[in-house]
Amino acid sequence: MKLMRPVLGIRGKLFVWFCFFIAIFYGTILVLFLNIKQIVNISENLVSKNYEIADISDNMIKNLLSMEEFGKKYALLKKNDYIVLLEKATTQFETNLEDILKMESKRGIAISDEWKRLSESYNNVVESFSAYPSNRYPSTLFSEDQINEWIGLLSKIRHENEENMGASTRKLNSLGQISARNSLIGLGISTAIGIIGIFFLSYSMIRPLRELIKGIRSVSRSQRSAPIKIRSSDEFGELAHAFNEMSEQLREEERMRSDFISMLSHEIRTPLTSTRESVNMIAEEVMGSINERQRKFLEIASMEIGRICDLMNHLMNVSRMETSVLKLYKRPFNALELAESSMRHLEPIAEKSNIRFEVVEHKNIPETMGDPDHLQRVFHNLLDNAIKFSGRGSVIKIEIKPDKTDKNVIVAVSDNGPGIPEEERLLIFNKYYQTKESREHMDGVGLGLNISKSIIKAHNGDIWVESKIDEGSTFYFTIPVEKKG
């Protein structure tokens, strides 16, 4: 099956999110820059025009008052010193008025029309004095009414300028508040976009990864898992698609292997049974007398054939469980009695290694509901493994007790063996898996625990192991309690 081509991969999603975030961020910066530019322009206008006009208008009013004062003193006392002071004040006034007019003509700063009126009025008065004789100094004398008119114009100009300064100051304050608000909004939006983007991207990555991890664990535990749902067309979608293909191929190979083992077990078991019966008949001297040496080898052959038959039965049981042929005939039974039956059956094997069983008794153990024949096999497998891995003279403990919910009975089988490494504790329930210790020293093909797990799962129970290296292992499994009524 051909893999999908990602429409928008992880790199594309990161790039789109980054561009969106950058657009919001720089959009905020641009708006802030424009507001700051307006603030700078207004501040520059205040400094270069309004404050300058305020200073010049104040000086001009002072000059007019000085002109009026020195003019009156000269008219009264006729001292030339007052003429000098009067001309100095007049020169400063004319210089200030010229500076104001240059603001518009040379610097391009708009000024009030009142300045032009003031300039025209002053020039007209000055020109009207040019016809008088110079020894009377008429050009330095201005009437009180004329001075008051000019002071009134300057006061009006100052008032307009102060209003403009107040309006500019209010606009500056408003622009500052707008800039601060826009900055906060932009920062909030950028932060929200960042958090949403991070959450979305992490969720879009973590969700398929979790499903993939779940699928991998189900494969590692030899469970039948549903295919991973493909929710995206990015690299994770490709990965999920490839995993589904791998899982389907593994399931198909597992099915073919199980079918082959089932067929092989079925075909081999029949001739093995015939061979075993023939060997037993010869050993029983049905076909004639035999000597002791012949009898010994026949017994060995019968025992080995029996082992092969048991192995074939195990393989057949696994095949039936995989094809859902395992049928349970549930009925109430006593778990302790079932455990004791298995102990009696295995007691001769345990006595060879001087191993004894010890039952940890609990009062009021409820009856359980299940198939005793299949659960007997679970007890047998766990106790047989405990005997194999326990040292000579050790004790195997069996404990049966109700759980905290009183809905299940917990069975625990503890040995004093070498323990199971942590990395192998989940693998030991897989088919054909054997620990390093058992591969080197024990017989078997690694089916006992897998069969036990299948039986317990069929009873809606659970099975697990707790182990410490060089201290032993304890296998637990649960069986549902019989429901009263």
In-domain check, residue 222:
no
Interatomic CA distance for residues 434 and 424, integer angstroms = 9
Interatomic CA distance for residues 392 and 344, integer angstroms = 19
| pLDDT > 80? residue 399 | yes
| pLDDT > 70? residue 234 | no
Shared domain for 283 and 337, answered yes or no, is no
Shared domain for 343 and 248, answered yes or no, is no
3-class secondary structure per residue, the chain: CCCCCCCCCHHHHHHHHHHHHHHHHHHHHHHHHHHHHHHHHHHHHHHHHHHHHHHHHHHHHHHHHHHHHHHHHHHHHCCHHHHHHHHHHHHHHHHHHHHHHHHHHCCCCCCCHHHHHHHHHHHHHHHHHHHCCHHHCHHHCCCHHHHHHHHHHHHHHHHHHHHHHHHHHHHHHHHHHHHHHHHHHHHHHHHHHHHHHHHHHHHHHHHHHHHHHHHHHHHHCCCCCCCCCCCCCCHHHHHHHHHHHHHHHHHHHHHHHHHHHHHHHHHHHHHHHHHHHHHHHHHCCCCCCCCHHHHHHHHHHHHHHHHHHHHHHHHHHHHHHHCCCCCCCCEEECHHHHHHHHHHHHHHHHHHCCCEEEEECCCCCCCEEECHHHHHHHHHHHHHHHHHHCCCCCEEEEEEEECCCCCEEEEEEECCCCCCCHHHCCHHHCCCCCCHHHHHHCCCCCCHHHHHHHHHHHCCCCEEEEEECCCEEEEEEEEEECCCC
Shared domain for 118 and 139, answered yes or no, is yes
Interatomic CA distance for residues 140 and 132, integer angstroms = 11
Shared domain for 288 and 349, answered yes or no, is no
In-domain check, residue 215:
no
What is the pLDDT at residue 444?
58
φ, ψ dihedrals at 480, nearest 5°? -65, 145
Last residue of a domain, one of 290, 322, 354: 322
Number of independent structural domains in the chain:
3
What is the pLDDT at residue 412?
94
What is the pLDDT at residue 104?
77
- For residues 9-15, average pLDDT: 71
Interatomic CA distance for residues 251 and 14, integer angstroms = 36
| pLDDT > 60? residue 5 | no
What is the pLDDT at residue 445?
59
Interatomic CA distance for residues 335 and 83, integer angstroms = 133
Confidence category of residue 411, pLDDT binned at 50, 70, 90: very high
φ, ψ dihedrals at 414, nearest 5°? -115, 140
Q: How many CA atoms lie within 13 A of 415 on its CB side?
A: 23
Partner residues linked to 360 by β-bridges: 399
Top-confidence residue, 223 or 54: 54
What's the token pair of residue 120?
Answer: 């025209």
What's the token pair of residue 223?
Answer: 């469970």
| pLDDT > 90? residue 397 | yes
Q: Compute the mean pLDDT over every residue in the chain, rounded to the nearest whole number.
A: 78
- Give yes or no for a contact between 419 and 469, defined as CB atoms under 8 angstroms apart: yes
In-domain check, residue 2:
no
Shared domain for 283 and 408, answered yes or no, is no
Confidence category of residue 201, pLDDT binned at 50, 70, 90: confident
Confidence category of residue 199, pLDDT binned at 50, 70, 90: confident
Torsion, Cα 111 116 122 126, to 10 degrees, reads: 120
| pLDDT > 90? residue 476 | yes
Lowest mean pLDDT among 26-35, 135-144, 172-181, 383-392: 135-144
In-domain check, residue 356:
yes
The CATH number for 274's domain is 1.10.287.130
| pLDDT > 90? residue 474 | yes
- For residues 406-424, average pLDDT: 88
Write out pLDDT tens, residues 246-305. 777 777 777 776 666 666 666 676 777 778 778 788 877 777 788 888 878 878 888 777
φ, ψ dihedrals at 409, nearest 5°? -110, 130
Shared domain for 312 and 336, answered yes or no, is no
What is the pLDDT at residue 464?
93
| pLDDT > 50? residue 375 | yes
What is the pLDDT at residue 101?
84
Shared domain for 341 and 402, answered yes or no, is yes
Confidence category of residue 353, pLDDT binned at 50, 70, 90: confident
Last residue of a domain, one of 146, 172, 197: 197
Instruction: Domain of residue 339: give its range.
Output: 331-480
Lowest mean pLDDT among 192-201, 379-388, 392-401, 446-455: 192-201
Last residue of a domain, one of 291, 322, 353: 322
| pLDDT > 60? residue 189 | yes
What is the pLDDT at residue 421?
86
| pLDDT > 70? residue 30 | yes
In-domain check, residue 214:
no
Shared domain for 149 and 244, answered yes or no, is no
What is the pLDDT at residue 4?
45
What's the token pair of residue 57?
Answer: 């208008």
Residue 286 vs residues 42, 57, 167, 281, 304: alpha-carbon distances, Å? 125, 145, 129, 5, 21
Write out pLDDT tens, residues 64-88. 888 888 888 887 888 888 888 888 8
In-domain check, residue 106:
yes
Interatomic CA distance for residues 359 and 275, integer angstroms = 41
Single out the residue of 431, 459, 226 nearest to residue 314, CA to CA: 431
- Percent of the chain having pLDDT more than 90? 8
- For residues 204-227, average pLDDT: 68
In-domain check, residue 193:
yes
| pLDDT > 60? residue 136 | no
Shared domain for 156 and 277, answered yes or no, is no
The CATH number for 359's domain is 3.30.565.10
Shared domain for 396 and 421, answered yes or no, is yes
What is the pLDDT at residue 314?
64
In-domain check, residue 284:
yes
What is the pLDDT at residue 184?
79
Shared domain for 296 and 260, answered yes or no, is yes
Lowest mean pLDDT among 55-59, 76-80, 314-318, 361-365: 314-318
Confidence category of residue 134, pLDDT binned at 50, 70, 90: very low
Write out pLDDT tens, residues 422-471. 888 878 887 767 766 665 545 555 677 888 888 898 888 999 999 988 88
| pLDDT > 70? residue 8 | no
Shared domain for 129 and 170, answered yes or no, is yes
Top-confidence residue, 238 or 416: 416
Top-confidence residue, 483 or 66: 66
